[in-house]
Amino acid sequence: MTSELTQAADATSRKARSVVALAGGVGAARFLKGLMQVHPQDDLCAIVNTGDDANFYGVQVCPDLDIITYTLSGQINRTHGYGLEGDRFDLLQTLEELGHDTWFRLGDRDYANCLHRTLQRQAGKSLREVAASLTEAFGLDIELLPMSEAPCPTFIELNDGRRMHFENYLIQERSPAGVRAIDLSAAQQARPGDGVLEALEQAQSILICPSNPAVSIGPILAIPGIREAIAASGAPVVAVSPIIAGAPVKGPAHHLLPALGVPVSALGVAQLYQDWVDGFVLDNLDAALVPEIEALGIKTAVCETLMSKPGVDSQLAKTALALAASLRKSTT
């Protein structure tokens, strides 16, 4: 790339985005795909959890950033829920034959993207720049901002005394019950990623994706300065519940929320978020919880939130944006 082109790319990536979302992986990716259909992609930004990041097979893997990139470009492997459609696993197969432990599944093209990240980082590029180069390679205009440049791994502590990285808990151990604590101390000592505070400052609406509150949204908020920037932005903050009828749609939120003392319900999530959200979108199945959530001082919208049928994602995104817009009007 010539320096002129680089400058043009930098200017584009610095363009203020009026809708800024906080995002984990799967639930966030589904929601952002809906958001892209109802709002211009080049006006969207997502601040993405990096607490799940880890090194595997010599490369830096950023599960949430990559799930979002692969989902939004329509290239996610729908059967697995991670990785790229049609990817092969020759590299992992070879490593396995050579005696390596290969519990973390990484396809060949997926591996190449992570190797690109690793090489770019070694060449002095920031994680933000690498995220931008990957979204561009996948034909996306949304801006994905890693929550932190430095590694800040989330650790899980089990009742049996074992302590492990979140990916070991999720994949190697298959996310068992009996979680005693979620250790976000690395995030608590990290600095916000490049561009994160600026994005929040310029936001007109802040949306909290239906992501795991404990291990996706929690680590982002644990970074000193991010909560303050959300409050200072003056933008309405609207969260979408990842819990429907007392259960997560996918993943181990039902084993993790209890470790925070939070009931596994839309009300529990609203209580956890009550100090910093203005609006909350919950599922039709949970409509009975509206009075209790509104009693917390949070405005609600109720709609279908299970994004497995076509069109639900964009309707849900519209509902969240409309709730944010209504809260903006009433506060100015």
Partner in contact with 226, chosen from ligand GDP, Ca ion, none, beta carbon below 5 to 8 Å by kind: none
Q: CB of 239 within 8 A of CB of 273?
A: yes
CB of 67 to Ca ion, least distance (A): 7
Residue 170 Cα distances to 37, 148, 174, 251, angstroms: 31, 21, 5, 8
User: Does the protein bind Ca ion through residue 66 (CB under 5 A)?
Assistant: no
Residue 165 and residue 172: Cα distance in Å, rounded? Answer: 10
Question: Of 201-240, which residues contact ligand GDP (CB under 6 A)?
Answer: 209-212, 216, 240
User: Does the protein bind ligand GDP through residue 35 (CB under 6 A)?
Assistant: no
CB of 25 to Ca ion, least distance (A): 4
Q: Contact with ligand GDP (CB under 6 A): which of 244, 267, 269, 324?
A: 244
Q: Contact with Ca ion (CB under 5 A): which of 52, 66, 167, 194?
A: 52
CB of 309 to Ca ion, least distance (A): 24
> Tokens at residue 108, please?
């060949």
Count of CB atoms situated within 10 Å of the CB of 332: 7
**In a 3-state reduction of DSSP, which class is residue 148?**
coil
Q: CB of 158 within 8 A of CB of 202?
A: no
Partner in contact with 210, chosen from ligand GDP, Ca ion, none, beta carbon below 5 to 8 Å by kind: ligand GDP
Give whichever of 158 and 214 is closer to ligand GDP, judged by the CB atom. 214
Name the maximum alpha-carbon separation found in the chain.
Answer: 63
CB of 80 to ligand GDP, least distance (A): 12
Give whichever of 33 and 299 is closer to ligand GDP, judged by the CB atom. 33
User: Does the protein bind Ca ion through residue 64 (CB under 5 A)?
Assistant: yes
User: Does the protein bind ligand GDP through residue 51 (CB under 6 A)?
Assistant: no
Mention every residue, 6+ apart, whose C-beta is less than 8 A from residue 237.
206, 207, 208, 230, 276, 277, 278, 279, 324
Give whichever of 106 and 324 is closer to Ca ion, judged by the CB atom. 106
CB of 154 to Ca ion, least distance (A): 9
User: Does the protein bind ligand GDP through residue 253 (CB under 6 A)?
Assistant: yes
**In a 3-state reduction of DSSP, which class is residue 151?**
coil
Q: CB of 87 within 8 A of CB of 107?
A: yes
Residue 109 and residue 75: Cα distance in Å, rounded? Answer: 11
Residue 305 and residue 285: Cα distance in Å, rounded? Answer: 9
Residue 90 and residue 106: Cα distance in Å, rounded? Answer: 10
Partner in contact with 259, chosen from Ca ion, ligand GDP, none, beta carbon below 5 to 8 Å by kind: none
**Site size for ligand GDP, by CB under 6 A?**
25
Q: Which stretch binds Ca ion (CB under 5 A): 22-30, 35-43, 134-142, 291-299?
A: 22-30
Q: Which stretch binds Ca ion (CB under 5 A): 46-54, 130-138, 188-196, 227-235?
A: 46-54
> Tokens at residue 136, please?
């561009």
Radius of gyration of the chain measured on its C-alpha atoms: 19
Q: Contact with ligand GDP (CB under 6 A): which of 13, 17, 21, 24?
A: 24
What residue number has its CB nearest to ligand GDP? 27
**Residue 313: is it exposed, middle or buried by C-beta count within 10 angstroms (0-12/13-18/19+)?**
buried
User: Does the protein bind Ca ion through residue 53 (CB under 5 A)?
Assistant: no
Residues in contact with Ca ion by CB under 5 A are 24-25, 52, 64
Residues in contact with ligand GDP by CB under 6 A are 24-28, 30, 64, 67, 209-212, 216, 240-242, 244, 248-251, 253, 305-307
